[in-house]
Amino acid sequence: MRKISVIVPIYNMDKYLSRCIDSILAQTYANLQIILVNDGSTDSSPQLCDQYADEDDRIVVVHKSNGGLSSARNAGIDVAIGDYVGFVDSDDYIAPDMYEQLIQRMGSSDAEISNVMYVRVDEKAVESPSKVPHFRDEEISSPDFAKELMLHLGDVSVCTKLFSRALFKDVRFCENKLNEDLLFILELLSKIKVIHFVGKVGYYYFSRSGSISNGYGKAVEDMVENSVVAMELVKGQFPHLAEAAERFALYQHMAYLLLLPQELAKKGNAIYLNAVRFVRKNFLKNIGNRYLSPKNKLVLFLQIFLPRTTGRIFRTLKN
């Protein structure tokens, strides 16, 4: 029976940690190695991890100094022994049959990645279904999935997926970066032919107020820098997707300039200046890009000449 290593990076999540771990322990697929990576937590998370390990011998605890999400995931990969690897963030939780569903899809062919549906859950337990385009069991090619990601249609999260551990031989998460899942997935796409989808919800993504996915912060800054790397990766791996890849990078830069607080849109901000330069250099040659909407093109055009004013107008309308 094939083993699945489930990696849970943990940093100061004692409020939600038991819910997360309990959902993994309750899996109908029982042949698991559960790797709890305590990434230098200062709350009671380390003690909770050790307590769970004492109660279930499938659990391995890694205690390390704080290095961030990617560092914790990499530490988990280093001790994984399963045939397959999955990831669950410590404030999220999963359906009881998620890994059974995912490994069944793996077993149906030579698949190396399978993907389950997800929903977002807020602090009031209100669920918001995902808008990814796969609502039934199916498979798509690696280039087609890369195209979905470049068009902001695909599910970029590693947590909704099960991976063959063999894929990680020379691939790790980029440390000291947020929005790291995209680059990790793109690196893997050159190694596989297809991705298998499970048309069923299995992952519950918990949206906390104040989390790194909400509002402006380092995640937004890394988003714009990562987009250039992603563009070049896709153009190198799948040259026929060059137009979609350039659209992705322009869209990310546009979003960054719209989200950037007014006080940071200044000459001393290198990320801001580089974003403006990128738009000015790349938009006109993409004026005919079929993947940019007319609204996108209008905003990008205005950002060439009036990036600060365009951002101010956007924030006024949004509020």
Domain ranges of the chain: 4-207, 218-318
Residue 128 pLDDT exceeds 70:
yes
User: Which two structure tokens, joined as six digits, stand for 213?
Assistant: 């996915």
Least confident of 37-46, 65-74, 211-220: 211-220
Report pLDDT digits (tens) over 42-82: 999 999 999 999 999 999 999 999 999 999 999 999 999 99
Longest dimension (CA), the chain: 62
Report pLDDT digits (tens) over 231-258: 999 999 999 999 999 999 999 999 999 9
Residue with the larger pLDDT of the pair 109 and 87: 87
User: Residue 167: which residues within 8 A CB-CB, separation 6 or more?
Assistant: 112, 113, 188, 191, 192
At 177 the pLDDT is 79
User: Residue 307: which residues within 8 A CB-CB, separation 6 or more?
Assistant: 257, 265, 275, 276, 279
Q: Give the pLDDT mean for 31-38.
A: 98
Q: Are 234 and 179 in contact (CB under 8 A)?
A: no
Report pLDDT digits (tens) over 283-314: 999 999 999 999 999 999 999 999 999 999 88
- The single-letter DSSP state of residue 193 is S
What phi and psi, each to the nearest 5 degrees, are found at residue 213?
Answer: -85, -5
How would residue 209 be classed by pLDDT, with cut points 50, 70 and 90? low
Residue with the larger pLDDT of the pair 267 and 17: 17
Q: What is the pTM of this model?
A: 0.93
Q: Give the pLDDT mean for 271-287.
A: 96
At 215 the pLDDT is 59
At 219 the pLDDT is 82
Taking the C-alpha atoms of residue 256 and residue 89, their distance in angstroms, rounded to an integer, is 25
Q: What CATH class is the domain 4-207?
A: alpha beta
Report pLDDT digits (tens) over 138-185: 999 999 999 999 999 999 999 999 999 999 999 999 998 777 899 999
Question: Would strands 194-207 and 138-141 be described as parallel, antiparallel, or unpaired?
Answer: antiparallel
Taking the C-alpha atoms of residue 89 and residue 5, their distance in angstroms, rounded to an integer, is 14
Taking the C-alpha atoms of residue 67 and residue 172, their distance in angstroms, rounded to an integer, is 14
Taking the C-alpha atoms of residue 186 and residue 233, their distance in angstroms, rounded to an integer, is 7
- Counting residues of the chain whose pLDDT is more than 90, the rounded percentage is 82
Taking the C-alpha atoms of residue 229 and residue 15, their distance in angstroms, rounded to an integer, is 36
Instruction: Choose among 100, 73, 101: nearest CA to 87.
Output: 73
Residue with the larger pLDDT of the pair 129 and 144: 144
At 11 the pLDDT is 98
Dihedral of the CA atoms 267, 229, 258, 273 (nearest 10)? 10
At 130 the pLDDT is 78
How would residue 230 be classed by pLDDT, with cut points 50, 70 and 90? very high
List beta partners, residue 161. Answer: 115
Residue 109 pLDDT exceeds 90:
no
Write out the E strands in 123-273.
127-129, 138-141, 161-164, 194-207
How would residue 210 be classed by pLDDT, with cut points 50, 70 and 90? low
Residue 318 pLDDT exceeds 90:
no
